[in-house]
Structure 1
């Protein structure tokens, strides 16, 4: 029974303890927020900073910090300027009555001068430091002139000029630092000059504690070392030593006895930054080591024990500093891991926002495409009926309106009259010059003026046909817009998916490749891995430039990567900058499984220079290869322009990522709508996937193609009208699986139909292709062209084009070099 009670009591006690911890944490968090609101939002931090800067000295009696600080607060946080003014006067009062008088005089003179010259200064931020400079000079010279019995010595002029110059520089520094100290805006990151300005500001504030001590320990030494510890922890040796030098320099200017602190702070910042990998313990060890060495080898007789105690107190403050504070500060300083992470998160957020916007645009285009493609059959029928009614109304105005049988035709026999007039309209609209015998007899039997009615319908028919043609063009334009919007929507949707693909973290693989290649004796400066997917490897590498290069990248680096990654890697791009210290930027990509080699032969009609045929080979980014032939109607420049324009449009649309069937329809619509002339062209398109050698033949009005596989000849054909004739047509896609060694022969009608005295062009062409003893694409194209021209005794009666494509395995030029390492990829080992 006691054991059960104990088991019940203990969990209840644990729950109470967790609740108390939570209450304490929430209370502490609330207190921090209240303190932050009191200090930052209400501006009491300027009261504290003003107090310290008001009593900060340079060269024992110069105080150049007070006025620049007040000016920066006055310009950037005017509502907090009274608190800064009170703080400066309170700090100056701790020094002397003369000092508070000086501070009060400089601030008042600045306010008066600013009020007077405000209307003349267009940009206060530019003229402000000069106004501070002249204010300090005026007060210094005036006070010196009065104190020295109306005599101004050279020493007074020199010291006034020094103090005014320092005030000029400090104004610029404080103008950059005050926004950060006040947190008046969210700062994404600090520039290097802003970091230095912040360090000088913090060191100047710390110098206001000179002369303070607690239990024999110097306050300025504790806070200066604490400042060095924080910056060494968050940003490393460079910034840490910079903080040490700047803080020590300001201390030494304030008091020559503090010159020794410069070396101690700089050395501790350097050691702490080098040991920052051990976090707070590492930078603490750096400070203790620097303090110990500086104390042991100092010639100034400074006691070691107090200096060690001051360092220990600074270390204690470092360990009491919340990690949240150091992390937030580290995010603002360039070069830190936290800053890089913050930038990556910002870029990821921007990437997601961009992807979402692109996806939204894709949805908008998809909706517009549906809206344009939506077609109401009922509304079309109603529109057709209205147009017929309007047509007949115009005809009746010219014929039936003055006829005495009007009432009998349109009141008594309306349906019969309407149907008869409609039949006449449709028969004449069909292109018949005369009406059929039956319809003529019915019209003469029913109508009193048949010839006049027929003439009126013929006259009105021109307007009717023009209206119908305009409607068809509008409909065709809507279809074109709908299809293009749908294609753009698909491309943007794919682009949004690509944007959202993050670059994987390949640090471990980069190190493995780096070590493996360097162990082989080659020098590498940098490696970036973007993709390690099979057949889609993408690696950038930076290597030193060598004046006596002999293709080491193709002969050594690519084969080594091929063995490490288990893929056929080739040099995709190489850019070198020669000279001393030059480098080469190399891009390595996976080689395609199949290679393409093409040959072409073409001739213009009658041996002319301008052919109506055009051909093109296009390597697309998705691992596809396109070969296209277009034959423009007729011959000469106009036909060449049509065929070349067809291929140009097709190439641009295919490169944008739109699917090939939709691309052909788009080209067809564009060619049809851009001119009223009866101009058309054929299109023969071959799309080859270089990874698996699948081929898609898309033929629009073109002649058959042939595949030569050893002694076997395969014919590929389709039955579409030429492009640009009809708006509505379906693109026939014929798919074939190609093999290594296949020859794909594509030709225009001038070659296929060119042989004279040949009854069956198919059999003749297959026989000539089978008789070829070479597999060189260029030779095959030349031989076929020569055979066709020979059959016509050298006459070229039409434009002729032959394009031959050879498919072969992509064999690496250099064999892989065995590296004898196991490469880790996604926690799987591959050889």
Structure 2
């Protein structure tokens, strides 16, 4: 109960000083309770198929166990008893009361904080009360379908409402800052409100729900075809479910919303006219004896309300919540964005100018006939038959040399048999001519190889300019967009800091949509207890804070975590292994694990692999995508020419928020993934980094979604030493432990028994699991 009392006390948090202030948070908390009461009362009247009304129970499940939850329960019970009659009203009121009781009883548990817990409880209690009240009437096929649909709607609505209820003040600042989940939750809430309002008739003619739908569709259509069509579809589906009829309103409102969206750049009157005409045409098109003749009149009244009411579109999002308040900071940020954009434009221009000069035919510009011309200048010039061969018998000489060209180019050396017998017998200096042809052929092939290398080097440099241009443009876009604020949590954070006599906290979302918190680097905030309390105040789990100057930065905790261990041994007779392995986590929740195997063994190979690994780490930490980072490093290593060596690259990236994994390979050994007892293998056919450039430098990429309990094993070539890999598959499949260090050591020992230290060998074992305690 101590936790509940402390949570309830946060509604009016008093600073630690003698003067008592009532903050805006207190007002918002009371307003939230009032809104909860009204929503509960209205949602209790929302029916599907004209029989079932589960949305009030869903609202109670989403509101939780605090003051707003109790007010939502009170409004819901009042709405059910007034709108649903005694039998059904008592049934749904009982479901709501039981749902609130479970929320209150389990408030202190970890299960309550799971997003699925309260929706699942609401579904279970709604199903149980439905079985008790309707079981005596018997279950028929249609009744069973409706009952199952009602239970599913309860859970879905509870989940969607929860997203909106936890951050409802954001809607006061417009819809620009809403995430996709919040947008879907808001559409679900609006649709169910329409179901309830559809039961209200004005002057026995107009349906309040359809009037509100008309105004909402016209407003959303000002954002374009997508906004109008989406809101029209949602409103139509809601009204069809409420009426229990065929999908009529879904088609009419979707069509009207799409057509109105085409008028987004015109005056509001055009959109209103198109909406009225679309509804009228749809009614006439699907004439059903005049049953829906009132719809055009409702559309006309709704269009008039849309024109009269001062409805405006939400403006674009502001920049970061705290720094954007400083005009100088904002101007500096925009100026820096423009500078980066100009720099990106310069590299793009450089890329274009270099690309224009890159023509593949330039690699082989010299004509092979020059080989014989140069040979003739040195041998045939002093021959007595020179005029005969090159003037009188020119056509025969040309034919003989043309026939010899392709075989000698393919072989890299000319033989006497490449020339016809007529030419070789007639040539009095044929041995000297053949030797000179071979000398000129060697020089020709060397020039061609140099041209090809020059072309490949210029192509690699050109691709580097393109990547740099893309990277700078991405950075410029991020600077221009700024940060996405979370205003409701900003209010909560300010109240929390005021209780500690601190100010200057910021709550925002990064470019991946993950929550980040910056607060003053106070010793009081660095404790685990303070982090846990801050997590509860903001309603999200936070990682341990990182100190940056005088600021303490918290990031949203990832639902996944990975345990990794590295084991390796050098080649027999060597003191240093040529392999390099490392792993690190980026601030956006991306975990990278890397193995590089330098060519050969010893210090030289170690230097190559360590250099490649360091370059990759720098690019990845800077925010570059994994595939672009691998391609960039591979091309850079190849530009060193014969002075440099080569190294394999085996990169595993894991998104600790979603579980998405990707393996990038360049000349690397297979990677093994175990799920349950099944073993999958990711192999590659690309060459090691530093050998080729351009398109040939692209790595092999394997993508999969990781799950709880997955094992991932990365190895270098020295572990397999060219032998069959069935032994490592069997060892991984039969492993019963939970220690990556133990698994890596077992694989290394068995490899040494089989290979006897023929090459450097390194193993990187990873165990993927769900975070046991995101606060820990």
Q: How does 1:510-549 map to 2 (within 5 A)?
A: 510-516=490-496, 523-532=500-509, 536-542=514-520, 545=523
Structure 1 residue 432, shift from structure 2 partner = 4.6
Distance 1:530 1:464, change over 3 A: farther
The equivalent position to 2:759 in structure 1, one of 798, 817, 829, is: 798
Match of 2:331 in 1: 349
The CA distance in 2 between the partners of 1:341 and 1:615, in whole Å, is 40
1:457 aligns with 437
- Deviation of 1:557 after TM superposition, in Å, equals 2.9
Instruction: Report 1:596-615 matches (<5 A).
Output: 596-606=562-572, 608-615=574-581
Q: Residue 638 and residue 379 in structure 1: after superposition, are their counterparts in 2 closer, same or farther (change >3 A)?
A: closer
User: Equivalences for 1:354-369 in 2 at 5 Å?
Assistant: 354-369=336-351
Structure 1 segments unaligned to the other structure (5+ residues): 1-339, 547-551, 577-583, 816-831
8 Å contact from structure 2 (residues 563, 766) kept in 1: yes
Q: How big is each residue's C-alpha offset from its partner over 1:451-499, in whole Å with a ceiling of 9 and x where there is no partner?
A: 2221112222343233222212211111111111111111100110111
- Distance in 2, matches of 1:600 and 1:419, equals 66
Contact 2:638-2:691 at 8 Å conserved across structures: yes
Q: How far 1:445 sits from its partner (Å)?
A: 4.8
SS at match of 2:350: helix
Match of 2:729 among 766, 780, 787: 766
Q: Distance in 2 between matches of 1:429 and 1:382?
A: 13
In the alignment, does 2:773 pair up with 1:812? yes
Aligned counterpart in structure 2 of residue 743 of structure 1, from 686, 711, 730: 711
**How does 1:666-745 map onto structure 2 within 5 Å?**
666-676=632-642, 679-728=645-694, 729=696, 730-745=698-713
- Residues 650, 663 of structure 1: 8 Å contact kept: yes
Cα 1:669–1:436 change in 2 (3 A) is: farther
Change beyond 3 A, Cα 1:595–1:413:
farther
Contact map agreement 1:701 1:721 (CA 8 A) in 2: yes
> What is the match of residue 78 of structure 1?
none
Compute the displacement of 1:747 (Å).
0.5
Q: Which deviates more from structure 2 when the two are superposed, residues 457-466 or residues 685-694? A: 457-466
Q: Report the alpha carbon displacement of residue 350 of structure 1 after superposing the two structures with TM.
A: 3.3
Report 1:207-356 matches (<5 A).
344-356=326-338
Evaluate the alpha carbon distance shift between residue 673 and residue 423 of structure 1 in structure 2; reply closer, same or farther with a 3 A threshold. farther
Pick closer, same or farther for the CA change 1:405–1:607 going to 2, 3 Å. Answer: closer
Structure 2 residue 428 is the aligned partner of structure 1 residue 467: no
Q: Aligned partners of 1:630 and 1:505: how far apart in 2?
A: 40
- For 2:542 and 2:555, how far apart are their aligned partners in 1? 6
Paired with 1:468 and 1:371, the residues of 2 have a C-alpha distance of: 24
Task: Answer yes or no: is 1:775 the counterpart of 2:738.
Answer: yes
Gap change, CA 1:396 and 1:618, over 3 Å in 2: farther
CA gap of 1:412–1:684, structure 2 versus 1, over 3 A, is: farther
Q: What are the superposed Cα offsets for residues 35-92 of structure 1, whole Å, 9 maximum, x if unpaired?
A: xxxxxxxxxxxxxxxxxxxxxxxxxxxxxxxxxxxxxxxxxxxxxxxxxxxxxxxxxx
User: What is aligned with 2:465?
Assistant: 485
Q: CA offset at residue 675 of structure 1?
A: 3.7
Q: Which residue of 1 aligns with 2:542?
A: 569
Q: Give the superposition deviation at 1:449.
A: 2.8
Does the Cα contact within 8 Å between 2:667 and 2:685 map onto a contact in 1? yes
Following superposition, the deviation at residue 446 of structure 1 comes to 6.1
The equivalent position to 2:529 in structure 1, one of 556, 560, 563, is 556
Query: Partners of 1:700 and 1:359 in 2: how far apart?
Result: 33
Pair 441,801 (structure 1): closer, same or farther in 2 beyond 3 Å: farther
Contact 2:570 2:576 in 1 (8 A): yes
Instruction: Give per-residue Cα distances to partners, 1:666-722, cap 9 Å, x unaligned.
Output: 323332331426832222111222221211111111111101112111111111222
Secondary structure of 1:720's aligned partner = coil
Match in the other structure for 1:255 = none
Is 1:425–1:457's contact at 8 Å kept on the other side of the alignment? Answer: no
Contact 2:543–2:774 (CA under 8 A) maintained in structure 1: no
Aligned partners of 1:438 and 1:431: how far apart in 2?
A: 11
Q: Given that residues 708 and 743 in structure 1 are in contact (C-alpha distance below 8 angstroms), is that contact kept between their aligned partners in structure 2?
A: yes
| Deviations 1:159-193 (CA, angstroms, capped at 9, x unpaired) | xxxxxxxxxxxxxxxxxxxxxxxxxxxxxxxxxxx
Q: RMSD in angstroms over aligned alpha carbons?
A: 3.2
**What is the aligned partner in structure 2 of residue 383 from structure 1?**
365
- Higher RCO structure, 1 or 2 (CA under 8 Å, sep 6+): 2
8 A contact 1:491–1:656 mirrored in 2 = no
Question: Would you say the 8 A contact 2:682–2:702 is kept in 1?
Answer: yes
Give the aligned partner of residue 93 of structure 2. Answer: none
Q: Is the 8 A contact 2:351 2:462 kept in 1?
A: yes
**CA distance 1:606–1:489, change in 2 (3 Å):** same
Instruction: Provide the C-alpha distance between the structure 1 equivalents of 2:589 and 2:422, rounded to a whole number of angstroms.
Output: 68
Tell me the TM-score normalised to structure 1 length: 0.50
Q: Give the conservation status (yes or no) of the 8 Å contact 1:535–1:592.
A: no
CA contact (8 A) 1:517 1:560 kept: no
Deviations along 1:522-572, whole A, 9 cap, x unmatched? 5241242141479622222237546xxxxx645333223333333221232
SS of 1:605's partner is coil
Classify 1:673/1:421 alpha carbon distance in 2 versus 1 (closer, same or farther; 3 Å).
Answer: farther
Classify 1:461/1:341 alpha carbon distance in 2 versus 1 (closer, same or farther; 3 Å): closer
> 2:751 aligns to what?
788
State the Cα distance separating 1:608 from its structure 2 match: 3.3
Count of matched residue pairs: 452
1:640 equivalent in structure 2: 606
| Structure 2 residue 379 is matched with structure 1 residue 399 | yes
Deviation at 1:506, TM superposition (A): 6.4
Structure 1 residues 341 and 589: alpha-carbon distance in aligned structure 2, compared to 1, 3 A threshold: closer
